[in-house]
Amino acid sequence: MRFLEEVDHLTLGSLRAALTEQPLDAAVFVNWWHPQGGVPLMFIPSGLDSWRGVYKYPSLVWQREAPDQPTFVADVIAWIDEALAGRHYEGYKGGEYIFVEDYPVWVDPYGEASNNLVTELRQVKPWTYQYGEVDPYSDDYQHHFVVLVVTEMVEL
């Protein structure tokens, strides 16, 4: 495990900038990318909240059950804009926190802190993900997938 300062990662501001270059109707997934290969794990983010590891940092949260609908680039941009406009977030065990542009973006289900850091954004063709088969040729999803990549666990 490497330390935060040793890993190239996206901050709240750089993630927003990268997302604005993508189609707003692109579906967003979080992917634990395995550099050695294997089946990637993919999840759909369901919001932005305080990360349990360090409450002042933002985390894209995801749910263990399949959501009713996809999350789109426009949704994630809206979450970030709300955060950068000064929204207060409650820490897991209390306290209020405001996120700023240079904070790293973590990924975990609410209440967990597994040290997963967003390291890059990729636009890719879809493949099978946790909730079932995605048809890359359907009218709804053709060429509209953005993946936020987590490549490793990071220590603070």
- Is 92 a residue whose pLDDT tops 60? yes
Summary mean pLDDT of the chain: 80
Confidence of residue 137 (pLDDT cuts 50, 70, 90): very low
Distances, alpha carbon 81 to alpha carbons 15, 85, 126, in Å: 11, 6, 27
pTM for this prediction = 0.81
Range of the domain at 148: 2-155
The amino acid occupying position 93 is K
The 10s digit of each residue's pLDDT in 13-25 is: 999 999 999 888 8
Q: Quickly count: other Cβ atoms within 10 Å of residue 90's Cβ.
A: 12
Number of domains in the chain: 1
Contact between 118 and 124 under an 8 Å Cβ cutoff? The reply is no
Write down the pLDDT at residue 130: 43
